[in-house]
Amino acid sequence: MLITRASEYAILSLIVLSSAKEPMDSETLSKELTISKSFLAKILQALAKEKILRSYKGVKGGFALNKTPIEIDMLTVMTCVEGKTPAVFECAPAESRCPSEKANICNIWPFLNKLQGKIDSFLAELTLADIID
Amino acid sequence: MLITRASEYAILSLIVLSSAKEPMDSETLSKELTISKSFLAKILQALAKEKILRSYKGVKGGFALNKTPIEIDMLTVMTCVEGKTPAVFECAPAESRCPSEKANICNIWPFLNKLQGKIDSFLAELTLADIID
DNA sequence: CGAATCTAAAGCCATAATAGCCTCCTGATG
DNA sequence: CATCAGGAGGCTATTATGGCTTTAGATTCG
């Protein structure tokens, strides 16, 4: 389970955008949060690809929520923003190399799955609505 | 909220150590988990400083749990292992620079605190016992 | 008791991944 | 067609990850 600044910035952005009446461009948002503009832009683009945000080009363009806060869960947000490293235990005992040589390691898999399940359901049930209301 | 491999390795180590009858040295543990020995050693040392593990030097030495699984909560584990970056939103609106010039940013503080509280209590209530039982 | 050995503890250094910066391109607006 | 903002990629700086060496405490054995 790896959580980087990308997830953090994504959540901050969603909070700000949830109270915005019009699309907000990435530069304004980055100044609002005092973070890197171009890094934030990539994060917003990832959220837009996931249909969590909608992007508007041209004058008065920017990003706006594309779903209601209750439809936006943190697991989806983090997973799409973290890209290749979603909220899972990915290192250590890989399932593939489990049965054969490393029998001694296999026995921790059930525990990891259990932990992963608890974390995932916590994040999946935590929506933007829970935060801003 | 940053969670790196250090937290992941810490949890994996605690799971393995919870079923060990004797102290396990960092080299054995690193082979068991197929991860870096020296990096793991630093993590185990951090856990030992927090009294979560107890270290034994000399022949047949190593690390062993110093608490019962129900006493070991994930918030403490992650906080001590991540060091300077515990499980908090640390970037963005710092409380200090809030009241003055950046009034427009202040209004997201309550939301962040609320989110932080939810995450913290989830992690604080999640103990090693929840994982291994 | 003292030497040899084992392992934690702690530092420094190299590499890999993340975070942040800049530029060009594309589509939308007026 | 001029302007504005998203989309995409490359490049640099920072931080995390991992490797390596040295020091110190603890145990075993002669």
Of A2, A8, A32, the CB nearest to B105: A32
Query: H or E stretch including A35?
Result: none
Res B14 pLDDT > 80: yes
Confirm whether any atom of chain C, the nucleic acid strand, is less than 7 Å from CB of A86: no
Domain ranges of chain A: 5-132
**B129 vs A: CB within 8 A:** no
Q: What is the pLDDT of residue A38?
A: 95
Confirm whether any atom of chain D, the nucleic acid strand, is less than 7 Å from CB of A25: yes
Q: Which nucleotide is nearest to B63 (CA to C1')?
A: C8
Pull the structure tokens for residue A59: 């004058």
CB B70 within 8 A of CB B128: yes
Q: What are the counts of helices (DSSP H) followed by strands (DSSP E) for chain B?
A: 7, 2
Start-to-end Cα distance in chain A: 27
Q: List pLDDT tens digits, range A64-119.
A: 999 999 999 999 999 999 976 544 565 444 443 343 334 355 578 888 889 989 99
Interface pTM, i.e. ipTM: 0.87
Confirm whether any atom of chain C, the nucleic acid strand, is less than 7 Å from CB of B38: yes
Q: Determine if residue B88 is left, alpha or beta; phi over 0 gives left, psi from -120 to 50 gives alpha, anything else beta.
A: beta
CB contact under 8 Å between B8 and A92, yes or no, is yes
Q: What is the pLDDT of residue A98?
A: 40
CA distance A65 to B91: 23
- Is residue B110 very low, low, confident or very high in pLDDT (cuts 50, 70, 90)? confident
Q: Determine if residue B51 is left, alpha or beta; phi over 0 gives left, psi from -120 to 50 gives alpha, anything else beta.
A: left
* CA A11 to chain CA centroid, nearest Å: 7
Of B7, B12, B92, the CB nearest to A12: B92
* CATH level 3 topology of A5-132: Arc Repressor Mutant, subunit A (1.10.10)
Confirm whether any atom of chain C, the nucleic acid strand, is less than 7 Å from CB of B27: yes
Confirm whether any atom of chain C, the nucleic acid strand, is less than 7 Å from CB of B1: no
Distance from CA of A54 to the nearest CA of B (A): 21
Q: Chain B neighbours among A 22-81 (CB < 8 Å)?
A: 32-35
Mean pLDDT on B63-81: 96
Q: Which nucleotide is nearest to B48 (CA to C1')?
A: C8
Nearest in space to B62 (alpha carbons), one of B109, B13, B107, B105: B13
Strand C nucleotides in reach of protein CB atoms, 7 A cut-off: 5-11, 18-23, 26-30
Q: List pLDDT tens digits, range A22-36.
A: 999 999 999 999 999
